[in-house]
Every structure is written in C-alpha cells, then in structure tokens.
Amino acid sequence: MAEQSTLGLTANLAGQVAIVTGASRGLGRASASVLARNGAKVACLARDTQKLSETVAEITRQGGQVEAFACDVQDRKSVDALVDRICAEWERLDILVNNAGVTRDTLLPRMSDEQWDEVISTNLTGAFLFARAASRHMMMAKYGRIINMASVTGIIGNAGQTNYAATKAGLIGLTRSLSRELAGRRVTVNAIAPGFIESDMTRVLGAALLEDAKKRIPAKRLGKPDDIAAAVLFLASPAASYITGQVLVVDGGMTS
C-alpha cells in the first residue's frame, strides 16, 4: 500500500503489526488510522467490538489492514492471551499504542474508592499489562515501539482529577523506567502528553471552560486528534530509533 497521510507526514510501516488500545474513538481511532494508512496491520482493541465498527470501516475504506478485538485492559489473563494470539496469528508485533483511558472526575474528598480504582486499573495498570505482554515478544524480535498516552495533567496536575493525574504521571514514570530496560534490545518506549484535544473526553467539560482554555493556549485553539496521531506515527517510525524514554508534549504551547 502506498504511503500517504492527510497529516503531511509519512512513514514506511509496511509489513509491521500494531496494537492500539482504546481505538474506538478520538485519539485511539486517529492513531490506528494513521498507522494503517502508512502500511501497518492494526489490531484495534476495545471492551466491545461493536464500538470499533466505525474505526474498522474507516481504515477499510482507506485500503488498510485492520481487525477488531474485544479486550478488557484490566483483565490480566485476557491481555496476555490476546497479545500472544495476535503475535501467533500475525507472526510479529512491532508497535503498541497504550491509549485506553477513562476519567471519573471529582474533588478528592468526594472521590469514592471505586472512582479511584477504576481510573488506576484502566489507565495505568492496563498500560502496564500490555507493555509487559508486548515487551516479551519485542525483546525476542529485538525490535519494537511502545507509545504510552500520558497527558499534560500528569505533568502539571488538575483540580478534580487526582486519580487521572496520578495515572498519567505514573505512565511517564513507567515510560522512562521501561525505556532503560528495553533500549539494548532495540525497543523504544516513549510517551505523548496531549493538552486540550477535541474529543468526547473534553467535550463534557462544556463550551465555557473550553473557550477559557483556548485563551490560555498560545496556539489559540484546541488540538485535534490528528495532531496526536502525527506524534504517534513519528515515534512508531524507523526514523525515531534513537528516541526513547521521552515525553513529547503536544499542547499548543500551554505548558511552555
């Protein structure tokens, strides 16, 4: 398949296999789509494969190779079994994008144990489980790209999001530590820290808050999923072979 991208950025991923968690919408869908457009065969993951139908349809229309898989990222046995299955059936695993995440926002005094546990187990433990399972195969192959979706919230914090911020800060620590473990096997591990990006997750904040956010962003706009997908494509590409343990902030200058 010819290399092409509406992002103005291309990479030769022909023959490679990618897993993208939380691929049903937003950043996950955009990431899966750009990897497929550039030649990768993409396994799109969500709890319910029905939620992946639009992602699969979009990639198929573009001529990409894609398959939907149901998986709860919190389920250790399911994660291990699915990664092993994909590697056995597709004969390799080159790229992992840990994108699955949820928010359960409220001020800490009101936060329930369930709100804390769900965000931690989905956003952080889920990424750990997939990174652990994928790294075993990548180490044997002596090649791989692991990309963790962090957030500027994990760097600067945000009131009402102590659970979410803790997971994203944790992902940054996981990224930096794991990169040191895997660099000798030619496996890179990096994180992307989006700022305010147009998505279902930010739309619930309301128009007034988002307009206020735009005023505080030097670029004077919210980011788009394609802005994050471009970063994913670069870090997944052969061109990024000497970049590991890094956090690429994509926030329009908000935290500069």
What pLDDT, in 10s, does the model give residues 210-238?
Answer: 888 888 999 999 999 999 999 999 999 99
Structure tokens at 192: 């992307």
Residues with Cβ within 8 Å of residue 10, at least 6 apart in sequence: 3, 4, 38
pLDDT at res. 6? 46
Measured CA distances, 214 to 42, 148, 209 (Å): 34, 25, 9
* In the chain, % of residues over pLDDT 90: 89
This prediction's pTM: 0.94
Angle among Cα 39, 45, 49 to the nearest 5 degrees reads: 115
In whole angstroms, what is the distance from residue 247 CA to residue 190 CA? 6
> Which residues form the catalytic set?
164
Torsion, Cα of 199, 205, 211, 217 (10° steps)? -70
pLDDT at res. 4? 41
pLDDT at res. 7? 67
Q: What is the pLDDT of residues 2-41, one digit of tens each?
A: 334 446 899 999 999 999 999 999 999 999 999 999 999 9
pLDDT at res. 211? 85
In whole angstroms, what is the distance from residue 109 CA to residue 122 CA? 22
* pLDDT in 10s for each residue of the chain, 256 residues: 333 444 689 999 999 999 999 999 999 999 999 999 999 999 999 999 999 999 999 999 999 999 999 999 999 999 999 999 999 999 999 999 999 999 999 999 999 999 999 999 999 999 999 999 999 999 999 999 999 999 999 999 999 999 999 999 999 999 999 999 999 999 999 999 999 998 777 766 677 788 888 889 999 999 999 999 999 999 999 999 999 999 999 999 999 8
Q: Are 18 and 229 in contact (CB under 8 A)?
A: no
Residues with Cβ within 8 Å of residue 32, at least 6 apart in sequence: 18, 20, 23, 42, 44, 55, 59, 66, 97
Structure tokens at 69: 């898989």
In whole angstroms, what is the distance from residue 234 CA to residue 190 CA? 11
Which domains are assigned to the chain? Answer: 17-250 (3.40.50.720)
Phi then psi dihedrals of residue 95, to 5 deg = -135, 135
In one-letter notation, the amino acid at residue 79 is V
